[in-house]
Structures are given as C-alpha cells and as structure tokens.
Amino acid sequence: MFAAEENVDFRIHVENQTRARDDVSRKQLRLYQLYSRTSGKHIQVLGRRISAKGEDGDKYAQLLVETDTFGSQVRIKGKETDFYLCMNRKGKLVGKPDGTSKECVFIEKVLENNYTALMSAKYSGWYVGFTKKGRPRKGPKTRENQQDVHFMKRYPKGQVEIQKPFKYTTVTKRTKRIRPTNPS
C-alpha cells in the first residue's frame, strides 16, 4: 500500500501551467466591469489613459476580458476604445492598441476576501491599483494585501453573460468509421 502524503501543494504545478501558453483550451471572452474598492468607481480604458473613475454602465468601463491559458492569465481590453490595459517597465498603467506583449497579460488572483487582484505576468509582484481619486498607482508601490489592488467583477447594467454556449460534437460509430478507398 502507498502512504498518502499529507501536505500536497499543487500551487507550484498550477503556477507552472499558468505561465505556459495553451493552444488546446478554448479561448474565453467575457464582458464585465471592474469595480475598484478604493475609488468606489469602475476601471476605464480611455485610449492610452487608464483611470478608475467610471460610473456603473459607462461605455468606457465595459471591459472585454480574454483568457487563453489553463490558469488565470487574462488580457483586458476596453470595449469602446479597443485599447488593452498594460503595465510598462516603470510600473505605469497604460493603454496599448496591440495587446500581444507580455506587458498586457495579468494573472487574476481571487483573494480570501473574495476580491480579485490583477498581478502583472511580466513583472511579478506588481499589481493593478488605483488611489481614492481613481488615479493609477505604479506597480512597484503595490502589494496584494492593499485595498488599492482589490477589484470586484460586475456585469454592466442590463448585461448578462455574453459567452456563446459551446456546441459539442457527438462522435458516433458512423462518424468515426474511415471509409476504405476503392482502387477501381
């Protein structure tokens, strides 16, 4: 008999899987607003400028969140402006028209208090954060336990999930069968 190991920690495995790009999983696209705990408003992507001063239902506060990995790596794009939320090498939050760089990828962390924190995938330990006035905080000055980096996901007013239902394909004996080619 095998002895069951008591303290198995899968966090390292999940972290390693999260870092790798995943071509197998289906890309998810969700539309919601991110409510900032400190400013009491929603994150807005106003082109190259980012703020947390958006009212509920504001067109600039509607964010398209793309996931394409096993873990929780996301890209956040303003629905109205088509600019991505990114963090540059100085830790400043900026909007970029092209979200393919690692600076525009964030790791979504659900915290013990049920808020969500967004950590930069490129600059580990740097978080998306805002002041009480809705101004962005620089990444190096943020920590996971600060209220400035805590967000709540909310659907825009009158908005329900936009994810289209996944269509499954049933494989039957008939579809699996490979027809032999006749050499006649």
User: Which domains can be identified in the chain, with CATH numbers?
Assistant: 15-158 (2.80.10.50)
For residues 140 and 138, what is the distance between their CA atoms, to the nearest angstrom?
A: 6
Does residue 42 carry a pLDDT above 60?
yes
Per-residue pLDDT at 102: 93
| 75 DSSP β-pair partners | 66
Residue written as token pair 């490979």: 178
Interval 129-144: pLDDT, tens: 999 999 999 999 999 9
Cα torsion at 99, 101, 104, 107 (round to 10°)?
130
For residues 128 and 85, what is the distance between their CA atoms, to the nearest angstrom?
A: 9
Interval 52-110: pLDDT, tens: 999 998 999 999 999 866 668 999 999 999 999 999 999 999 999 998 899 999 999 99
C-alpha distances out from residue 117 to 20, 110, 130, 180, 181, Å: 20, 6, 12, 56, 57
pTM of the model: 0.73
Q: 42-65 burial by CB neighbour count: b if 16+ within 10 A, else e?
A: bbbbbbeebbbbbeeebebbbbbb
- How sure is the predictor about 29, in pLDDT bands with cuts at 50, 70 and 90? confident
Mean residue pLDDT of the chain comes to 82
